[in-house]
Amino acid sequence: MSSSHGSVAIDTDTHSHSFRIAQLSDPHLTSLEGAGWRPLFNKRMLGYLSWRRHRRFVHSPGVLADVVTDIQARGFDHITVTGDLTHVGLPAECRAAAAWLRSLGKADEVTVIPGNHDRYVRADWSETVGCWSEYLAGDDSRIASEPMFPSLRVRDSVAIIGLDSAVPSAPLFATGRIGEEQRQRIAVLLDQARQRGLFRLVLIHHSPLPRGHRWRKRLTDAAALLRVLQRQGAELVVHGHGHKRRIDVVSTSQGDMVVVAAPSASLVGLGRGGYNGYRISRTGSGWRVEVSEYAHRAGKVVAQECREFELSRP
């Protein structure tokens, strides 16, 4: 397993057929201004105080708007949002996030998974993340009381598999968990996608790597999930949560798997906010994936780094 932050050539647009995906993560796009006190008398109070003292100053609607404008201008084939649309998952926040998603793109063009901030405490699903049902659901899912994860959407030659690691955690913790049922189901989906000759893209909010985050923010069953991914194989796993860019390459039974972390799409500070882009194309021996970093600098978004990975498959 290795990590890298090196760069090569920037942005390339001359390719044979490829599929381009944008990953936007951790926008924390909502405001808690005017939130009533009653729903805050639980762990949400700590989140509210964090927002009041810190988060509202470091997550900028202006930065996020610039990022969205850039994504839409570049004409990606699909957009993924890997969680933490809200601060404490209030119903009003989730409704605001639903309106924002509609402005981002159509439900069949945007795939969403929840983050830990979206499920800050136990709450009625239909009044919170259920507001985004059509963006969460897989191709064969009925939008009902609660969609079952993992979700599966097939776009072009890419199987987009969404995992839900967002579970309410104790105060001062931001941990996540996948659970046995999701692990069993993703094992089947990964195998079926391989048999269909599809590129397997896995979306998850928390890092699937056991040391991907600090202890109080970790995915508690990361080791178990990683064993499934290494046994079944996947081409690309993308996540958020840490608000920092990172690339790891993990060996699996079928060759290398690239694991990429995206920054927060709304974070202020030179080059800290932004998003990732992925260009996926088939090769004679497997797949090629280009990982591009787009950073917000001086009021605009610029292409910053691009790394290319050749993924040979048996």
Tens of pLDDT, residues 147-161:
579 999 999 999 999
User: Domain total for the chain?
Assistant: 1
Instruction: Indicate whether 196 belongs to any domain.
Output: yes
Q: How many residues does the chain have?
A: 314
Q: Is residue 7 part of a domain?
A: no
Residue-wise pLDDT tens digits, 265-295: 999 988 899 999 999 999 999 999 999 999 9
Q: What is the pTM of this model?
A: 0.91
CA atoms within 13 A on the CB side of 165: 27
Q: Residue 35 domain-assigned?
A: yes
| CATH number for the domain harbouring residue 209 | 3.60.21.10
- Residue 11 forms part of a structural domain: no
What letters, b where the CB count within 10 A reaches 16 and e where it falls short, cover 117-129?
A: bbbbbebeeeebb
In a domain, 5, yes or no: no
- pLDDT per residue over 180-200, tens digit each? 999 999 999 999 999 999 999
Instruction: Please indicate, yes or no, if residue 3 is contained in any of the structural domains.
Output: no
Q: Considering the domain boundaries, does residue 49 fall inside one? A: yes
pLDDT digits (tens, 9 = 90+) for 51-98: 788 889 999 999 999 999 999 999 999 999 999 999 999 999 999 999
The pair of structure tokens assigned to 119 is 């499920």
Token couple for 116: 């830990």
Q: Is residue 8 part of a domain?
A: no
Query: What pLDDT band is residue 145 in, cutting at 50, 70 and 90?
Result: low
How far apart, in whole angstroms, are the C-alpha atoms of residue 152 and residue 140?
8
Average pLDDT, stretch 98-127? 95
Measured CA angle at 120 (ends 117, 124), to 5 deg: 115
Domain that holds residue 134: 16-312
